[in-house]
Amino acid sequence: MLMLAFDGLLVLALLWSAWRCLASTDLSRAVVMFIVFGLLMALAWARLDAPDIALAEAAIGAGLTGALLLDALGALRSRREGRDAPRETP
Amino acid sequence: MNRFTRGLAVAVGVALAATLVAALLELPAAAVYLPGAVAQHLAQSGVEHPVTAVLLNFRGWDTLLEVAVLLLALLTLLTLRGSEAPVAEVEAEPLLQGLARKALPLIILMAGYLFWAGAYRPGGAFQAGAVLAAGAVLLHLAGLLPAWAVPGRLLRLGLILGFLVFLAVAAGLLGQGALLQYPPALAGNLILLIEAGLTLSLGLVLAGLFLFVTGRQA
Amino acid sequence: MSTGLLYALSGVGLFMLGAVGVIVLAHLMRKVLAFNVMGSGAFLVLVGLAQRTGQPDPVPQAMVLTGIVVAVAATALALGLARALHARTGGVTLTQGEDGD
């Protein structure tokens, strides 16, 4: 019973974090929500008796993908700000 | 994208999900009981952990092709990026540097453990490689490891070593009849050899997906 | 309802969220995020459905393990393409000249 409640909560948290990741207006917040989603996925794998996938998901899905996304976000932002900057200065 | 196409996409998505849920709930039980088949042949696989047995023995060619796909992705990424040297060097932060220096031996130890544990319990080359790659990214973020420019000869060899070892084993065993069918007596050692190569190469490839690109304008 | 089936059903939900996101969202990074959510949903269906009897099944687990590694490579490649596009055109969407938001 307790585990079923935990599963239900985890599933809701998964869906909610995925929704927040895709619906948030702020892109850096979306990336952070994606990292949260990855960590919740690792929990879900552990609940599905798949510790191998849980290990890989925690290291790759949350860690490495998060680093990649944050780095790309910085690159896409910095260039745009650099291009917009001259227009803003009088 | 206007409101109509957006609404249409959402409606089709919801319909698809409803159909999938209905199909999932009605699905009859599987005709083949795969866990039983794996358990039956586990003794001849050379390892004691069923996931590792599936990954590197029963469906080894899947894994072989997957490593090839990873290399292909990395090669494409290398052709995509601009040819200029990395611009932004990461600012060194003393606290982060100290932490990274302390964590590095533990990360390498953990990768070694995961690699070795793969034969008996959850773990294996993939997890070990991922941990190694995460360690490399941590070192870069701490300013201890510069972003990678054009890979030198040694790095190139490291990137493809796992794939080459895997391919050599597959080629050497072609006489066995099926692709990657190990002789049971040698299976354990061959899997260990492949996993050792894969741990190193996957670590480097996954780290490369980050380190070859970061700090560049394009 | 077994644990496996519960996660498989939630996987369907995630797959749908991601699929709609890939179509509806214009920003390329958001598309990449949605693509990853979609993949996670597919992985959950794959493993959850095979384990709805309650027995762990190593075959889909091994497939998903390789799938996760391929997904990160695909993500890195997609982000690299987005960066290249941004460097050449300055845009972050595929619908240039239209009302891409």
Task: Name the token pair of C39.
Answer: 């993949």
**pLDDT of the residue at B85:** 58
Between residues C54 and B87, which one has the greater pLDDT?
A: C54
Nearest to A30 among C3, C6, C30 (CB): C30
Residue ranges covered by each domain of chain B: 1-31, 41-211
Greatest CA separation for chain C: 53
**pLDDT of the residue at C33:** 96
Q: Provide the whole-model pTM.
A: 0.89
Where chain A has pLDDT below 50, the residues are: 82-90
Residue of A nearest to C55 (CA): A49
Q: How many residues does chain B have?
A: 218
Q: Do A52 and B123 touch (CB under 8 A)?
A: yes
pLDDT class for C9, splitting at 50, 70, 90?
Answer: very high
**pLDDT of the residue at B204:** 95
Report percent pLDDT > 90 for chain C: 69
The Cα–Cα gap between B68 and A6 comes to 39
CA distance C53 to chain A (A): 12
Q: Indicate whether C99 pLDDT > 50.
A: no
CA distance A50 to chain C (A): 7
* 3-class DSSP assignment, residue C57: coil
Q: Which amino acid is at B126?
A: F
For residue C93, the cross-strand partners are C27
**pLDDT of the residue at B157:** 93
The Cα–Cα gap between A2 and C100 comes to 46
Q: Do C56 and A47 touch (CB under 8 A)?
A: no
Nearest to A59 among B124, B131, B217 (CB): B131
- CB A74 within 8 Å of CB C79: no
The fold of the C3-89 domain, in CATH, is Helix Hairpins (1.10.287)
The Cα–Cα gap between B196 and B111 comes to 11
Distance of CA B73 to the CA centre of its chain: 12
**pLDDT of the residue at B141:** 87
**pLDDT of the residue at B193:** 93
Residue C53: list chain B partners with CB under 8 A: 29
CA distances from A79 to A64, B46, C81, C83 (A): 23, 52, 15, 10
The Cα–Cα gap between B200 and B180 comes to 21
The Cα–Cα gap between B157 and B151 comes to 9
Q: Could you list the mean pLDDT of each consecutive 10-residue stretch along chain B, which spans 218 residues? A: 86 93 88 86 88 89 92 91 62 84 93 91 91 92 84 91 93 81 86 93 94 74
CA distance A55 to chain C (A): 10
**pLDDT of the residue at C5:** 92
Residue B79: HSE in the Cβ half-sphere, 13 Å Cα cutoff: 5
Q: Do A64 and B206 touch (CB under 8 A)?
A: yes
Residue B27: HSE in the Cβ half-sphere, 13 Å Cα cutoff: 19
Radius of gyration in angstroms for the set of CA atoms belonging to chain B, rounded to a whole number: 22
**pLDDT of the residue at B81:** 77
Residue A18: HSE in the Cβ half-sphere, 13 Å Cα cutoff: 32
**pLDDT of the residue at A74:** 87
Distance of CA C8 to the CA centre of its chain: 15
A52-67: pLDDT as tens digits? 999 999 989 888 999 9
The Cα–Cα gap between B92 and B209 comes to 22
Q: Which stretches of B58-183 are DSSP H helices?
A: 60-80, 94-117, 125-141, 153-172
Torsion, CA C30, CA B204, CA B126, CA C37, rounded to 10: 0
